[in-house]
Amino acid sequence: MLSSNDNDLMCRTGRDTPMGKAIRHFWIPALLSSELPEPDSDPVHVELLGENFVAFRDTEGNVGLLDEMCCHRGVSLTLGRAENYGLRCIYHGWLFATDGKILETPNIPDPKYKSRFKAKSFPVKEAGGVVWTYIGKPADMPSFYDFPFIGAADDKILPTVQIIGCNYVQVLEGLLDSSHLSILHISQFRQAALPDIKFVQNTGHMQHDAAPRIEVEETQFGLHYGAQRIFGEKAETNVTAFISPFFILNPNDIYMAIVPMSDEKCAFYSIWCDGVQDYGLEPLRSKQLQTVGLDKLEECGMTRKSFYTSAKACRANGFRQDRVQVAAGHHTGLGSFVQEDAFICMSAGGLRDRSYEHLGTADAAIAQMYRSLLKSARQVEQGGKPIAYQMSVANLSGGRFSLPVGTDWRSVVPGNAAQTKVA
C-alpha cells in the first residue's frame, strides 16, 4: 500500500518530477532499429517521459533524434521527409541534420541565417537492435551499458517492443510476480500445440504450483528475487533481477526495459538473447514470437501506430476479452501471454491507485521494487544520484535452475549482489 503522494513520486516521470529526473540519468531505449528500416525511411514519433521527439535515419544510415516540433514555427517533424542527408520539415522546407544542424532554409534567402542556431538534438546509440538516447543533463551522462546482448550478432538477438496503455510501474509489477504465471497464463501452459523451445521447457512446471516460495534480496542495483516451486527432491527456481529504474532480467533469456512514454503509457522492450541460440533466425524467431503472442501486436493495438487506433484494448471494448472463448474454457479470453499481461495491467487504469491495495507474501518483490524506486527518486530530489547509476551490469542476469531442495538460490545466481562491482 502506498500513499497517494508516494504513488505519484514513484510513477510520474515528467521533466520536473523527482522520478523523471532520476530516469533522465540513464540511457533510455527510444525505439527499435527496425522501426527505421533503411536510409531515408519514414520518421517516427517517439514519446519519452512525457516529451515528444522525432527519430529518423538519414541518407547515410545515421539515426537522429530531435525535438518533435520544428524550431522554425513549431509544427511536427513527424510529418517531415527524410531526404538529402537530413529531415525536412514539410511546412517551409527547413532541413535538419542528425545533430540538429540546419542544412537548408529555402524560405530565408540569407545564407548565414541557418548557422545562427540549431534544432535541439539528443545523443543516440544503436546497439542490441535498439536505438538508445540520453535526454538528461549533459554533465550527468553515464557511460553506456555493458549488457551481454549489446554487441551480440543480429542472429543471436530478438528485439521486440510493445506499446502498453498504462504506467510503467504496473508493467514492472507483473514482471516481479511469479504467482500470476500459474493463474493468469494457465491456459497458455495447457495448450496442446506448444513448440519444443526453451521458454516452454522452462515454464511448463508453473502450471502445477500457484503459490511459489518468494524470497527477495535488496542489491546495489535494485533487487534479485527467487521464486521456488518444490516438486519432490527438486526446487524449480526462477530468479529475476530488477535493475533500477526500468530493467528486468528475466529467467527466460529476456532482457526487458519498461520505458515510460507518458504517465499512462509505456514501451515494453524485450531482447531475447542467451549468447548461444539463434533467436534472430528462423525458425526459432517465429516460434518465440508466436508462443508468447508477440506476432499479434498490430491487430491488438500494441504497436506504435496501432496504439492510436480502435484496435487498442480499452474499457469500451472490454479489453478485447473474448467471452465466447471464456465460456469454452479459456481462463482469460484475452489472447496469449503478452496480451494477457498488457490488458490485465491496463484494466487497472492508466495510473492505478495503490492506497487501497493489499500486498501479501506473493508480492514481496513488488514491495521491494516500490522501496527501490522511491529511494532513487528521493536521492535525486536531495541532490544525489539514483540507484544503479554508472553501474556495470555485465555480470547480472536472471536464471532458471533446478536445484536440490534446500539449496540457497543466491549461491547460483550469476552477478549476485556480493559479486557485483560498481564501475
Q: Does 91 bind ligand FES (CB under 6 A)?
A: yes
Interacting residue with ligand FES among 94, 134, 199, 409 (CB under 6 A):
94
Give the shortest CB-75-to-ligand FES separation in angstroms.
5
Instruction: Provide the b/e sequence for 4-27 (b: ≥16 CB within 10 Å).
Output: eebbbbbbbbeeebbbbbbbbbbb
Interacting residue with ligand FES among 33, 39, 75, 205 (CB under 6 A):
75
Interacting residue with ligand FES among 11, 23, 70, 216 (CB under 6 A):
70
Give the shortest CB-207-to-Fe ion separation in angstroms.
13
Residue 92 near which of ligand FES, Fe ion, none (CB within 5-8 Å, type-dependent):
ligand FES
Residue 373 near which of ligand FES, Fe ion, none (CB within 5-8 Å, type-dependent):
none
> From CA 317, how far away is CA 98, in angstroms rounded?
41
Termini Cα distance of the chain:
35
Q: How many residues bind ligand FES (CB under 6 A)?
A: 8
Q: How many residues bind Fe ion (CB under 5 A)?
A: 1
Residue 68 near which of Fe ion, ligand FES, none (CB within 5-8 Å, type-dependent):
none
Give the shortest CB-184-to-Fe ion separation in angstroms.
6
> From CA 85, how far away is CA 96, in angstroms rounded?
8
Q: Which is nearer to ligand FES, 74 or 414 (CB)?
A: 74
Q: Does 296 bind ligand FES (CB under 6 A)?
A: no
| Ranges within 98-117 binding ligand FES (CB under 6 A) | none
List alpha helices for 12-157, DSSP H: 18-23
Instruction: Provide the b/e sequence for 255-277 (b: ≥16 CB within 10 Å).
Output: bbbbbbbbbbbbbbbbbbbbeeb
Interacting residue with Fe ion among 57, 341, 346, 351 (CB under 5 A):
341
Q: Does 92 bind ligand FES (CB under 6 A)?
A: yes
Using only the alpha carbons of the chain, give its radius of gyration. 22
Nearest to 208 by CA among 225, 192, 231: 231
> From CA 119, how far away is CA 101, in angstroms rounded?
6
Cell of 322: 473474448
HSE, CB side, 13 Å, CA atoms: give it for residue 257: 23
Q: Which is nearer to ligand FES, 85 or 91 (CB)?
A: 91
> From CA 264, how far away is CA 165, in angstroms rounded?
6
Kindly report the backbone phi and psi dihedral angles of residue 409, in degrees, each rounded to the nearest multiple of 5, phi listed first: -60, -25
Distance of CA 150 to the CA centre of its chain: 15
Interacting residue with ligand FES among 89, 124, 176, 254 (CB under 6 A):
89
Give the shortest CB-69-to-ligand FES separation in angstroms.
8
| Ranges within 222-241 binding ligand FES (CB under 6 A) | none
Residue 181 near residue 206 (C-beta atoms within 8 A): yes
Residue 72 near which of ligand FES, Fe ion, none (CB within 5-8 Å, type-dependent):
ligand FES
Kindly report the backbone phi and psi dihedral angles of residue 127, in degrees, each rounded to the nearest multiple of 5, phi listed first: -160, 140
Q: Which is nearer to ligand FES, 89 or 249 (CB)?
A: 89
Give the shortest CB-94-to-ligand FES separation in angstroms.
4
Residue 75 near residue 69 (C-beta atoms within 8 A): yes
Residue 216 near residue 378 (C-beta atoms within 8 A): no
Residue 315 exposed, middle or buried by CB count within 10 Å (0-12, 13-18, 19+): exposed
Give the shortest CB-356-to-Fe ion separation in angstroms.
23
Q: Which is nearer to Fe ion, 35 or 341 (CB)?
A: 341
Q: Which is nearer to ligand FES, 112 or 358 (CB)?
A: 112
Q: Which is nearer to ligand FES, 78 or 170 (CB)?
A: 78
> From CA 348, how far away is CA 167, in angstroms rounded?
10
Interacting residue with ligand FES among 39, 62, 72, 274 (CB under 6 A):
72
**Which stretch in 70-78, 123-131, 183-191, 382-390 sits in contact with ligand FES by CB under 6 A?**
70-78
Q: Would strands 234-243 and 399-404 be described as parallel, antiparallel, or unpaired?
A: antiparallel
Residue 341 near which of ligand FES, Fe ion, none (CB within 5-8 Å, type-dependent):
Fe ion
Q: Does 173 bind Fe ion (CB under 5 A)?
A: no
Element (H, E) at 36: none
Q: Does 73 bind ligand FES (CB under 6 A)?
A: yes
> From CA 123, how far away is CA 91, in angstroms rounded?
26
Binding string to ligand FES for residues 16 to 55, with x set by CB under 6 A, is what? ----------------------------------------
Question: Under the rule (CB under 5 A), what is the footprint of Fe ion?
Answer: 341
Question: Under the rule (CB under 6 A), what is the footprint of ligand FES?
Answer: 70, 72-73, 75, 89, 91-92, 94
